[in-house]
């Protein structure tokens, strides 16, 4: 958009600050102009709602100053005490704006309740409609400022500008309420002024609450966004020799974010190759997300072809005519090697040759699942029918 300057890479802390200064400066100028217009008209009309709305516009000057303050200090580089920079100052600035919003909402409720106890018309009744039109125009200006702030917030991924945008929008909503109340009051519906004040106040408080909640979650630490996790997983899948990743965490320091994850690799990789692999994955994540990355490499073995205890038992059940019973079935995984150990009970009259053939059949059956596994079978002759029951 032509009315949004292109300062450069929006992920750069200094560039982000420029966008913050731009929004903050325009907001301060716009709010001072609106305050002067509203306060003059409010005094002229003797409208409590309009005077209160002018004070709301003046309070926006303070929040815009907080925006500039937040960006100024958040761009400070990392130091000994703050190795991850000062980006979380943006969250503190957002929290301050949200609290100001809620205080303003509570103040509006107080003013509205007072107005309910003293319903009356305006001192300059003939000016009510022209002033209402001017107030509506101010609401349009505030909505434009809100949209501008939100567009900038999306460009640089800034919660503080989102909060500032909603603050502008709350002022626009309150101005609409004030304009409608002025029109209604001019026609004798005096209760509309405080009624609209209560509705707008509730909206303002709710917006403030939502901002406080989201900011506190970010400061405390919250679960990574599912979209971002899937994006990182996709990057890993496209990286050669990475078998999988898990335990993904995203540490949020405002504009500076750090991803920690565990990457699964072949255990036979050399240290040099594994290190290069980790560097490549870090570089790809940085290019796609602009997040710094800390990777813990884990050797992992291909478990897809390893035999399971269930498969061993299924195999043994095929030889129930020759096997009296079985027990002590063990599956031992040693790196890439799988050992299968078991005891089977057979007829004591079985010959060595027959037992050897049975061993070969069982081994081949088990190795259909994993042809690299070692099968160790211990044959036990059944002692008596009383002490040994058939298990299959």
Name the pLDDT band for 140 (thresholds 50, 70, 90).
very high
- pTM reported for the whole predicted model: 0.50
DSSP one-letter string for 241-299: T--EEEEEEEEEETTEEEEEEEEEE-TTS-HHHHHHHHHHHHHHHHHHH--EEEEEEEE
Name the pLDDT band for 391 (thresholds 50, 70, 90).
very low
| pLDDT of residue 389 exceeding 50 | no
* SS3 of residue 40 by DSSP: helix
Name the pLDDT band for 143 (thresholds 50, 70, 90).
very high
Give the sign of the dihedral formed by CA 228, CA 229, CA 230, CA 235. positive
Residue 298 and residue 262 in contact, taking contact as beta carbons nearer than 8 Å: yes
Write down the pLDDT at residue 387: 45
Over residues 315-326, the pLDDT tens digits come to 888 888 888 888
| pLDDT of residue 210 exceeding 50 | yes
* SS3 of residue 332 by DSSP: strand
Domains and CATH numbers, the chain: 13-220 (1.20.1510.10), 226-299 (3.30.70.1350), 309-381 (3.30.70.1350)
Show the tokens assigned to 336: 């890439």
> Which residues on neighbouring strands pair with residue 294, listed in sequence order?
260
What integer is the mean pLDDT of 163-191? 81
What integer is the mean pLDDT of 3-18? 72
Over residues 224-268, the pLDDT tens digits come to 667 778 888 888 888 888 877 877 877 776 666 788 888 888 777
């Amino acid at each position: 958009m032509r009315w949004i300057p292109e300062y450069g890479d929006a992920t750069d802390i200094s560039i982000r600050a420029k966008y913050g200064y731009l929004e903050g400066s325009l907001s301060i100028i716009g709010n001072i102009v609106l305050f002067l217009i509203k306060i003059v008209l409010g005094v002229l009309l003797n409208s409590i709602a309009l005077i209160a709305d002018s004070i709301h516009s003046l309070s926006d000057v303070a929040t815009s100053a907080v925006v500039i303050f937040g960006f100024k200090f958040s761009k400070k580089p990392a130091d000994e005490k703050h190795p991850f920079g000062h980006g979380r100052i943006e969250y503190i600035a957002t929290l301050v704006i949200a609290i100001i919003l809620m205080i303003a909402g509570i103040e509006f409720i107080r003013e509205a309740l007072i107005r309910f106890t003293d319903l009356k018309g305006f001192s300059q009744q003939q000016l009510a409609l022209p002033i209402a039109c001017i107030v509506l125009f101010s609401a349009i200006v505030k909505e434009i400022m809100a949209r501008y702030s939100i567009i900038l917030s999306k460009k640089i991924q800034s919660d503080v500008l989102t909060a500032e945008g909603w603050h502008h929008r709350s002022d626009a909503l309150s101005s609409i309420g004030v304009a409608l109340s002025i029109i209604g009051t001019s026609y004798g519906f005096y209760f509309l002024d405080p009624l609209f004040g209560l509705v707008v106040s509730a909206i303002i408080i709710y917006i403030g609450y939502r901002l406080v909640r989201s900011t506190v979650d970010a400061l405390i630490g919250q679960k990574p966004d599912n979209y971002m996790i899937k994006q990182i997983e996709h990057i890993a899948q496209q990286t050669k020799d990475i078998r999988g990743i898990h335990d993904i965490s995203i540490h949020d320091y405002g504009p500076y974010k750090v991803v920690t994850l565990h990457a699964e690799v072949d255990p036979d990789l050399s240290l040099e190759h594994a290190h290069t692999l980790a560097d490549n994955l870090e570089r790809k994540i940085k290019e796609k997300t602009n997040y710094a990355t800390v990777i813990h490499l884990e050797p992992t073995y291909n478990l897809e072809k390893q035999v399971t205890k269930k498969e061993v038992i299924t195999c043994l059940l095929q030889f129930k005519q020759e096997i009296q019973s079985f027990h002590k079935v063990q599956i031992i995984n040693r790196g890439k090697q799988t050992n299968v150990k078991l005891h089977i009970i057979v007829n004591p009259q079985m010959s060595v040759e027959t037992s050897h053939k049975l061993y070969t059949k069982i081994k081949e059956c088990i190795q259909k699942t994993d042809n690299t596994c070692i099968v160790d079978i211990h044959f036990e002759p059944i002692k008596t029918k009383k002490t040994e029951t058939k298990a299959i």
